[in-house]
Copies of this chain bind each other. A is one copy, B any other.
């Protein structure tokens, strides 16, 4: 059975496995001080056009978000996010576990809007009672969002301007960064995005790696970030595992090449659905597609293709999610097309 349930259904890009095997018995120090990690940091800096950036490799997404946010906030501060943001919904309270509130703004197809951010901050400081409330200490956005959508350069620039005005660092969760940057709808390069924020991540887990998220601080990492990572249980002993993966992904543009594959497959999926008259809940230009299926359509696909049920609509139809990844072969899309031709 073909599966489009998520973008972490497979292992890793074969070049990563090959490189792991090649280097397996090279003795290297732990905790990210190995030569692979050093090389990977250099390659990430080069790709981001930030020769001075500080780069760290952590294992997973929730871990990375919680660690970075905790490192960037004072105790009395919270982090602003869309109410659909991953940290607000699907991280089991990891941010709160380190003592910080997630301050939510309305989500527009997964995105926050600069004007609403500005209005929130104005109204916060206009309220005489604000010292009794959680201080906004930073802004979190995901790129692409949990709904596959992208901020345009202009949208991001506006958000960044509000952040600057209120001296709030901006953190971009790039768990699916490649799938955003390689979308035709994206008008930002990695270098541009890197200059529009104070911290961002480059997701490996969902983009070809077994695990791993690169954290990039374009200017300067929070003090003692290494220790904060350790304190959060996020320091990998065999840092080489992360170094080798990111070194491979950032050699010869592999990260972007495989990201493009996922987006292309997703666009083919979208085309398939639209041809079949199936509407999309959100017009996502990245690797996640959200077709709205009737119960009859769901039943027809059952047992033949796997996907996620996202949300039941009042009219009984179901918002579903079909995700492609670096590993999705054309054959899977073709197989779905054949299924569609029969229903």
Contacts and interface: CB of A to CB of B under 8 A. Distances in A.
Tell me which of A27, A30, A223 has the highest count of chain B C-beta atoms within 10 A of its own C-beta. A27
A219 interface: no
Contacts of A132: 31, 90-92, 227, 230, 235
Contacts of A74: 223-224
A101 interface: yes
A30 B8 contact: yes
A295 interface: no
Interface stretch (A9-17, A155-163, A254-262, A286-294): A9-17
A161 to B, nearest CB: 24
B133 A92 contact: yes
Interface string A209-249: 01100000000000110111011111111101100000000
Contact of A11 (B61, B92, B131, B240): B240
Contacts of A6: 30
If over half of A's interface residues share one DSSP class (helix, strand or loop), that class is named, otherwise mixed; here it is loop
A93 B11 contact: no
Interface residues of A, number: 79
A75 B228 contact: yes
A229 to B, nearest CB: 8
B24 A14 contact: yes
Contact of A62 (B75, B76, B135, B230): B230
Nearest to A242: B211
Given A78-B93, A101-B96, A8 B237 contact: yes
Given A17-B24, A76-B224, A92-B133, 16 more contacts: A8-B30, A8-B237, A9-B30, A11-B25, A11-B26, A14-B24, A59-B59, A59-B60, A59-B211, A59-B236, A76-B231, A92-B231, A96-B96, A101-B102, A211-B211, A232-B233
